Amino acid sequence: MKERDEGEDTNSNQTATTPDPDCMFKPNAGYQNCLSKVKADLIVATALSSMIGSFAMGIFANLPLALAPGMGPNAYLAYNLVGFHGSGGSMSYQTALAVVLAEGCAFLLIAAFGLRARLARLIPKPVRLACAAGIGFFIAFVGLQAHQEVICFPNTPLGDSNYNYFKKVVDFHKIKSTAGAISFSQFNRTEVWVALVTLLYVDVLATTGTLYTMAEVGGFANDDEQGGGGGRIEGEYLAYMVDAGTTVVGAVLGVSPISTYIESSAGIREGGRTGLMAVVVGAYFFGSFFFIPLLSSVPSWAIGPPLVMVGVMMMKVVKDIDWNNMKEAVPGFVTMLLMPLTYSISNGIVGGIGIYIALGLYDYSVGWMNGLMKMKRVVVQEQNQVSATTAGPEMVEII
């Protein structure tokens, strides 16, 4: 934003630059201050929405699953929709948050009518099992990146651990810029509806896969395919409702879609089997409100080793895949491979389902042909019987 002082000559080329509230311009006198305030707003909004979701999951669904903004939707919202620091995107961040809110409401309706649980059970068993291992690879890959040794272009700015954060370790920050920043004024544009459908698609696949994976790791998923219970999760209806409802809350606070996050497996690994674990996580999120400056200064490499170990622990589910059956082994392998390589859980699920369908097309086609041949034989037999019964009386009269 550029303004001229009233006392200046109107022909002068001198301009005074003031901080832009959306942080859209290059660094100036108020740019870094603006970024630090927005960053603190987002940290508080993330902690608050995660706390609400984790409490709700533990109290209502009684499942050891914590919630937080998903990494995939986070990246899509920040870099594809809004653009880096609010520039270069296809829409304003207010419109992007409105898209998240609309997507959360649609997701909530899908969960309320039980459609999400039915969609989850349509995922083939080898793909569901491979999701756990694929997410384990994903977590380990993220953990290795935190060491800045696996990526091609490491980002190691020395200023990340700014000493100013330690001057005031304890602080309570109020959300000023992101909460309620929702605008539906651009919903007449095609890009907005494309973004809404994309977020809904990613949210359904990614969070459903994560929910089932955590249930598989914790041992509260039903894999009895013959009894019709394959893919069911104890308390799944309330879990899906909480998952979708928290996305609506997160949009109002100013963050990307909320989902069950894969780090829940660390608590499950330590013995968490009830909603008490989620409530404890929610309590920690509440405590983080008072240590925002300290938490903001934690370097990313400190999180890497635990993530790698969580990935290792999640690999045990691969033993349940029938590796001698290529129709199960190949979809499972593709699912595990695509998740870390494409940095997306949903891409891995779609790839695994696609391979599963492609490998099963021959069996489906042979089954259809056999069915058609059986129907044809039955029809021919019926026609012969009808012909025989009608021809019988005529032969008697002739005799």
Tally of domains in the chain? 1
Axis-axis angle for helices 93-112, 236-253 (nearest 10): 160
257, 103 Cβ separation under 8 angstroms: yes
Mean pLDDT of 245-253: 86
Calpha distance 210→345 (Å, rounded) = 8
Summarised one tens digit per residue, pLDDT across range 286-338 is 888 877 777 666 666 676 777 777 677 667 777 878 888 888 888 888 888 88
Calpha distance 23→34 (Å, rounded) = 6
Could you tell me which residue, 52 or 131, shows the higher pLDDT?
52
* Residue 163, burial from CB neighbour count under 10 angstroms (0-12, 13-18, 19+): exposed
- Nearest Cα to Cα of residue 93 among 102, 108, 83, 107: 83
Mean pLDDT of 228-251: 78
Whether 346 maps to a domain, the answer reads no
Whether 385 maps to a domain, the answer reads no
> Does 159 have pLDDT greater than 70?
no
Whether 348 maps to a domain, the answer reads no
> Does 176 have pLDDT greater than 60?
yes
Calpha distance 196→193 (Å, rounded) = 5
Could you tell me which residue, 287 or 161, shows the higher pLDDT?
287
Whether 169 maps to a domain, the answer reads yes
> Does 167 have pLDDT greater than 50?
no
Could you tell me which residue, 236 or 57, shows the higher pLDDT?
57
Whether 369 maps to a domain, the answer reads no
Lowest-pLDDT range of 143-157, 172-186, 341-355: 143-157
Whether 373 maps to a domain, the answer reads no
Summarised one tens digit per residue, pLDDT across range 273-299 is 888 999 999 998 888 887 777 766 666
Residue 39: pLDDT band by 50, 70, 90 thresholds? confident
Segment of 33-37, 137-141, 233-237, 395-399 carrying the highest mean pLDDT: 233-237
pLDDT of residue 359: 85
Whether 310 maps to a domain, the answer reads yes
Whether 341 maps to a domain, the answer reads no
pLDDT of residue 231: 56
Computed over every residue of the chain, the mean pLDDT equals 72
Could you report how far apart the first and last alpha carbons of the chain are, in Å? 110
- Domain range enclosing 183: 17-315
